[in-house]
């Protein structure tokens, strides 16, 4: 009888160690990408060193070094205990330890199995610290998350009037661009990959062009086989009421709008959009930081 009970205790302990008793759930990179795309409340936490984080990280991730002193104190100060946390490191060892510690502190934790290595092996989007500085510099006047997306009506390349509210009920990737803008042209392959990877019933791509001539835009759209709804703003970049409503000072600028018509976030970084959509397509920053100066207001006058 004693041996039988002891065996049951040992078996239970083994199951506990292999499942929920560790306090967190392991997720594959693929499942993590889906969770990031579906759960707007999810907090992403990179527990590697600042040097590792700056060299490349999952878009939207905060950084708290597991190996540094005061990890839990920093987590309590920087994370919302009411929202789930997806933790990761390089290969999963540090984040497993960090996840257990976070769980014991009351956090609802998921651990990215295989870590950053598994994420990048799947050719999923990443950003460097230098990349994110572009948002700090160029996306500062874009609408804040949660803001209702302003409605507008413009003509498309087929000559039909289209209202932005027509797309309510789906996520919308809204892009402000022009064919004369070097960074915009460089971003086209990334947008094509995102559009190809997205479910058209769930995600609509809408682009607002500041091209100087309607015929120029139409020819470019046809030549490049651009995806989604292509709209033309005849006012041009400087005088665009639509751009002003969305706080667009630089192009390309991108928004993710939710099905209720509210801003999820605005950015100048295509990888942030790709990560939010759960895209498995290879997305890299299309243009290095210095070329962004080409689309400052003084040189993009029209």
- Give the chain's domains with CATH numbers: 13-121 (3.40.250.10), 129-295 (3.40.30.10)
Please determine, for residue 127, whether its predicted confidence score (pLDDT) is greater than 80: yes
Residue 113 above 90 pLDDT?
yes
Pairing of strands 153-156, 85-88: unpaired
Q: Are strands 109-112 and 85-88 parallel, antiparallel or unpaired?
A: parallel
Give the distance between the most distant pair of CA atoms in the chain.
88
- Helix ranges (H only) for 43-128 are 50-55, 71-78, 93-104, 115-121
Length reported for the chain: 302
Is the pLDDT score of 212 beyond 80?
A: yes
Its pTM stands at: 0.76
How confident is the model at residue 38, as a pLDDT? 86
Indicate whether 214 pLDDT > 90. Answer: yes
Nearest to 115 by CA among 92, 95, 96, 85: 92
Identify the sign of the CA torsion 215, 247, 259, 87: positive
Q: What is the pLDDT of residue 20?
A: 52
Q: In which band, very low, low, confident or very high, does the pLDDT at 186 lie, cut at 50, 70 and 90? A: very high
106: tokens are: 């009351």
| Residue of 167, 188, 163 lying closest to 177 (CA atoms) | 188
Task: Choose among 136, 134, 137, 126: nearest CA to 54.
Answer: 126
Backbone phi, psi, residue 225, to 5°: 55, 55
Helices (H), the chain: 2-18, 29-38, 50-55, 71-78, 93-104, 115-121, 129-138, 182-197, 214-224, 236-239, 241-245, 270-277
If you average pLDDT over every residue of the chain, what do you get?
A: 87
In Å, what is the CA distance from 27 to each residue of 84, 95, 127, 276, 301?
Answer: 13, 12, 21, 17, 48
The predicted-structure confidence for 272-301, as pLDDT tens digits, reads as follows 998 888 754 444 433 334 344 445 543 444
């Amino acid at each position: 009888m004693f041996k039988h009970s002891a065996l049951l205790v040992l078996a239970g302990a083994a199951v506990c160690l292999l499942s929920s008793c560790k306090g967190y759930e392991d997720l594959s990179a693929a499942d993590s990408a889906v969770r990031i795309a579906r759960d707007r409340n999810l907090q992403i936490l990179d527990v590697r060193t600042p040097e590792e984080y700056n060299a490349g990280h999952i878009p939207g991730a905060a950084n708290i070094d597991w190996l540094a002193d005061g990890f839990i104190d920093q987590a309590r100060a920087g994370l919302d205990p009411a929202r789930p946390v997806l933790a990761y490191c390089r290969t999963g060892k540090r984040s497993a330890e960090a996840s257990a510690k976070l769980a014991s502190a009351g956090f609802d934790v998921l651990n990215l199995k295989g870590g950053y290595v598994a994420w990048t092996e799947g050719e999923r989007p990443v950003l460097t610290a230098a990349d994110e500085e572009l948002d700090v510099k160029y996306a500062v006047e874009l609408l804040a998350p949660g803001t209702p997306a302003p409605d507008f009506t413009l003509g498309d390349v087929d000559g039909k009037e289209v209202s932005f509210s027509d797309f309510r009920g789906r996520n919308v990737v809204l892009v402000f661009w022009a064919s004369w803008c070097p960074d915009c042209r460089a971003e086209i392959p990334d947008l094509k990959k995102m559009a190809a990877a997205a479910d058209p019933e769930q995600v609509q791509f809408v682009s607002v062009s500041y091209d100087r001539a309607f015929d120029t835009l139409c020819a470019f759209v046809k030549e490049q086989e651009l995806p989604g709804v292509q709209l033309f703003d005849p006012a041009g970049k400087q005088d665009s009421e639509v751009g002003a409503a969305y706080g667009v000072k630089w192009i390309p600028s991108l928004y993710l709008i939710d099905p209720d018509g509210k801003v999820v976030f605005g950015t100048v970084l295509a990888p942030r959009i790709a990560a939010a959509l759960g895209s498995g397509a290879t997305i890299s920053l299309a243009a290095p930081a210095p070329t962004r100066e080409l689309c400052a207001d003084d040189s993009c006058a029209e």
